[in-house]
Amino acid sequence: MKVVEIFASIQGEGKHIGKPTVFVRLSGCNLECSWCDTKYAREGGKEMTVGEVVGEVKKHRINNVCITGGEPMLQLAELRQLVEKLGRLKYHTVLETNGTLYDKFVFDKVDCVSFDVKPPSSGEESDIRLLKKLMQKDQVKIVVSDEKDFKFAKRMLKKIPVEVILQPAGGADIKWIAEKVIEEKLNARVLPQLHKIIKVK
């Protein structure tokens, strides 16, 4: 499989925020979001076997693993092998995916699917039909950069069966998002990108 990087850091997003985590970033993506902060993962990477990836993960001696990208689901055959092997080794696995691709084996096997629903400001669209495939262990993230995105997120809340996290795009102010959620009594969590605040990868 094509791997851009494997590194240890703090989980900066979603309901597992703050947990020490090993990140496995795979190469390739089928979207081009306007505010993407990992454009370097769209191509390139080092060819590694699943065994080699697991070996690198083990070196960090951290139980939480986040498989991210790019879009990991583009390397489906190897991804299935990876999540199965990590599961057998009792790692807690989170799969970050852009909400356009589905595989029952992978979605069932990981401990959490972190499913992005792309807002208008991204310039892209997720497949909202896939939301019904999610389970209570999973989460949905919606990036909010402006009022249009917020209104989109509010509409989407009615269609999402799992916990929803709203997070600001890049340098967007998080306070106004929190105030709007409180004012409109929405059933969503507002979280920053912690890794950007504490300035770690």
CATH number for the domain that contains residue 96: 3.20.20.70
Answer whether residue 193 shows pLDDT above 90.
no
Predicted local confidence at residue 200, as pLDDT: 82
Number of domains in the chain: 1
Out of 36-40, 59-63, 73-77, which region has the weakest mean confidence (pLDDT)? 36-40
Query: Region 62-67: what's the mean pLDDT?
Result: 98
Q: Which domain holds residue 94?
A: 2-197
Predicted local confidence at residue 80, as pLDDT: 98
Mean pLDDT of the chain: 95
The CB-side HSE value for 34 (13 A sphere, CA atoms) comes to 12
Kindly report, residue by residue over 133-181, the tens digit of the pLDDT: 999 999 999 999 999 999 999 999 999 999 999 999 876 689 999 999 9
Answer whether residue 57 shows pLDDT above 90.
yes
Answer whether residue 195 shows pLDDT above 90.
no
Answer whether residue 27 shows pLDDT above 70.
yes
DSSP 60: T
Predicted local confidence at residue 4, as pLDDT: 98
